[in-house]
Each structure stands twice: as C-alpha cells, then as structure tokens.
Amino acid sequence: MLTDHTTLSQFLIEERRRFPEATGDFSALIIDVGLACKAIARRVANGALGGALGQAGTTNIQGETQQKLDVIANDVFIRANEWGGQLAGMASEEMDMPWAIPPRYPRGKYLLLFDPLDGSSNIDVNAPVGSIFSILRAPNPGVEPRPEDFLQPGVKQVCAGYAIYGPSTMLVLTVGTGVHGFTLDPQLGEFILTHPRIKMPTTTQEFAINASNARFWEPAVKRYVDECLEGQPGPRGKDFNMRWIASLVADCHRILIRGGVFMYPRDTRDPGKPGKLRLMYEANPIALIAEQAGGMAITGQDRILDVKPTKLHQRIALIFGSREEVERIESYHRDHSGRDFGTPKFKTDELFQTAK
C-alpha cells in the first residue's frame, strides 16, 4: 500500500512486485535517471553562484547556441546512466550521434533518449526549465546499437518522463500505469510521491502558442485561435486565456495539472520543415505522458505516437493537451485538408510488464 511518503524507489518496487518475472533493471535505470535530475536541479538552483550561466560558445546539431548548463546537463545524464549495465546506448538532443557505452561497462537491454535541459533560453532570466527522457527496448540487447535502432515509434516507449526545475523540483513519469508526480525533498534528497494518478482535465479555457508566428499558421490553427480570442460572444461561448512560457516542460506541467492545450504547429515559414520540436526527445515522451493522463497528442492530422521516425533528430509539429480541445483542433485540420485522418485509441498496455 503506497503511503503519503512513498519514495520513487518504493513506488518502483511496488510496481515491480506486480510482475514477479521483472529483473529490476528497469527500476534501476529510472533511479539513475532520477539521480541525474537531482544533480541538474542543484546546478540550476545555484544559478549565477555556480558560474554556469551564459552561453557555452558552441552549437548543437540543430545549429542552436548551447548554454553552459546545456553542456553540463548533457554530461550529467551520460555519467549517471552509462555505468549501470541497464543501457545498450543513449542518444541526446545535444549530440550528433548516439553515445556508445564505454567498453569497461556492461551493456543492457534499454535505450535512453533525452533532452538534458529543455527551455535553456530561460536559464539566464530564472524561469522554469526541465529535462525530458524516453526509454525504449534495445532491438539487440547487450550489443552496441546502430543509430537506426533508436528510430522506434513513440508507442514503443516503455517509460517517459520529465523533471521540472521550478519553485520545487518534480519528476513526472509514466511506466504505462498512469502518470505519477514526485516532488524532491531537499532535506532527504529523495523524490516523494505527491501527485499519484494525475488526470488531465478533459476541457479547458487556456491555450499555449507563440502568437508572434500567427501570420505563418495553418488555417486550422488560425481558426481555432481566432475562435478562442472571440471569447464568450464567439462560437466557443466562453473566454480563454493564453499562457506561453517557451519551455515545453513548464507548459506541459501546467497543462497536465490544470488542463489546457499546447500548440507548436507546422507553419509556412519553411514549408520543407514539418515542425520545430524534436520527435524523439520531446514530442514522443510528452505525447505518452499526455495520453496516459487522459489527454491527446497529434501533429495536427496524425497521432504523435504512431509516427515512424526516419532520423534521430527529426522535427515535428506538436499539439497536445485536454482531449476535447485537441479533438476540436484535429477536426479543423480534417475540414481544411479534406483528408480523413483517424486517431486510433491508445492501448494502455502494461508497459512495466513488457519492460522487465
């Protein structure tokens, strides 16, 4: 029986007891991910006192300027997870190619993908940032993976989560049995279960979008936002608020707790690009969390978790949040495209069991 003071370790042990054949490797990997998040939280909290603010003077594979903490957080994730024997390999938004587990360490049966510090442009202004992670099964356990081994659709994830470094540090994750939130107790140094079985409200009066891109939006997105802005006299019959933090983790956490819809749609600035956010490091883990909490996540037309990746740093459009609003946006895309897009219901398999 889980108590009000259940730690992350206790939670994972209770989950594992439901599946006696589980080896414990999966739980150990999540604990190591949690340790990385604790270390990053401390560096973020130190701010200017730790000398880690500002730009690193380097760029990542996407050509984006890296912050010092981007580089530090990436290294923390690698060091915390490469040694334990649970991983066959890792891939990061900040690295061109997957990270090979050093020969001195054993290789395991999982793949870890992560965005070590999401929203890093907010660091210097002391706004919330976070880390996002996704765990897949390695096609060839114990063997160094090929880059294509990571290219699995989001539905294949056995765990997804994020840490948010705000007024308190929280770790939010799903292992296929709902979404659970753990708050870091700084005195104990432990993540404590504070938000069990999080359910996203099905409807909302809030939306999140970068309004400066309005002139580039697809017709379906423009129609949705225009209707929201018309408020109570308009076709929606209610007033809406817009919230935009420019940190995916922070926007996701708000929507998860109190409802809302997040939109980073495909636009016409560069028709050759299908979106801005990274499928493997951002969209897939956030989509699994959204669906496990009762929400939805789509590209506009298609379910995010069904998208078959074609490259490690693939970009994609992402719309997720309260089910009624996402369904409305999806229907608007059908109206404007003339295509009949189906959204298959997500089968909430016992991912913890398949991850053993």
Nearest to 286 by CA among 326, 249, 315: 249
Nearest to 188 by CA among 5, 22, 56, 333: 5
List the binding residues for substrate.
118-121, 210, 276
List the binding residues for Mg(2+).
93, 115, 117-118, 282
Pairing verdict, β 87-92 and 110-118: parallel
- Kindly compute the dihedral angle of the four CA atoms of residues 166, 171, 173, 178, in this order, to the nearest 10 degrees: -90
List the binding residues.
93, 115, 117-121, 210, 276, 282
CA angle 103, 106, 107 (to 5 degrees): 95
Task: Specify the DSSP class assigned to residue 274.
Answer: -
- In angstroms, the CA 349 to CA 19 distance is 13
Please state, in angstroms and as integers, the Cα–Cα distance from residue 146 to each residue in 97, 98, 176, following that order. Answer: 10, 8, 26
Nearest to 137 by CA among 25, 31, 286: 25
How far, in whole angstroms, is CA 220 from its chain's centroid?
25
